[in-house]
């Protein structure tokens, strides 16, 4: 129920299941015991293109759009997990995150604890000004056993 453009959220989140959320002010950063990885989004690549996390470890992905157009972070890796998504200092807890749309210069922090090993792709499917995926905007998230 957004009545004007200014009230729209800066970042859209699409959860795999109806996302519920309690907004809390986040004071937490990457503290001890958190595996933190920063991923930069630019035209048209992810840097780094491969992310490694470990089953059972508290993990944090800091996704930063360093480009000049909106980019997406789309993955199946975070389905079925409880995920904290921090945007602009506010954290929402959601069950699963499938897609983040991130405006230029914006930053989203995603926190989760992987439960199963596997390899997943992540990609950007934005289409403006061109097809980002076809330009090679794809990466790999590797979840390994301890």
Site for Cu ion, rule CB under 5 A: 71, 124, 126, 132, 137
Nearest residue to Cu ion, by Cβ distance, number only? 124
DSSP-derived secondary structure for 27-68: ---S-TTEEEEEEEEETTEEESSEEEEETTSEEEEEEEE-SS
Judged by beta carbon, residue 71 or residue 111, the one nearer Cu ion is: 71
Shortest distance in whole angstroms from residue 85 CB to Cu ion: 19
Shortest distance in whole angstroms from residue 46 CB to Cu ion: 9
Judged by beta carbon, residue 53 or residue 124, the one nearer Cu ion is: 124
Judged by beta carbon, residue 53 or residue 63, the one nearer Cu ion is: 63
Instruction: Provide the 8-state DSSP code for 16.
Output: S
Shortest distance in whole angstroms from residue 76 CB to Cu ion: 18
Shortest distance in whole angstroms from residue 120 CB to Cu ion: 18
DSSP-derived secondary structure for 68-96: SS-EEEEESTTTTSEEEEEETTEEEEEE-
Judged by beta carbon, residue 24 or residue 135, the one nearer Cu ion is: 135
Q: How far apart are CA 67 and CA 76, in angstroms?
A: 23
In the numeric block, which tokens belong to residue 44? 């048209």
């Amino acid at each position: 129920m957004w009545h004007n453009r200014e009230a729209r959220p800066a970042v859209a989140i699409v959860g795999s299941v109806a996302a519920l959320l309690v907004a809390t002010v986040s004071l937490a950063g990457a503290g001890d015991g958190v595996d933190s990885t920063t991923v930069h989004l630019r035209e048209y690549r992810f840097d780094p293109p491969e992310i490694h996390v470990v089953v059972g470890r508290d993990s944090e992905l800091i996704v930063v759009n360093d480009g000049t157009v909106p980019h997406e972070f789309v993955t199946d890796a975070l389905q079925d997990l409880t995920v904290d998504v921090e945007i602009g200092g506010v954290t929402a807890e959601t069950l699963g995150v499938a897609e983040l749309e991130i405006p230029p210069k914006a930053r989203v922090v995603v926190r989760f604890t992987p439960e199963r090993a596997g390899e997943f792709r992540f990609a950007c499917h934005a289409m403006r000004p061109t097809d980002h995926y076809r330009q090679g905007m794809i990466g790999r998230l590797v979840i390994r056993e301890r």
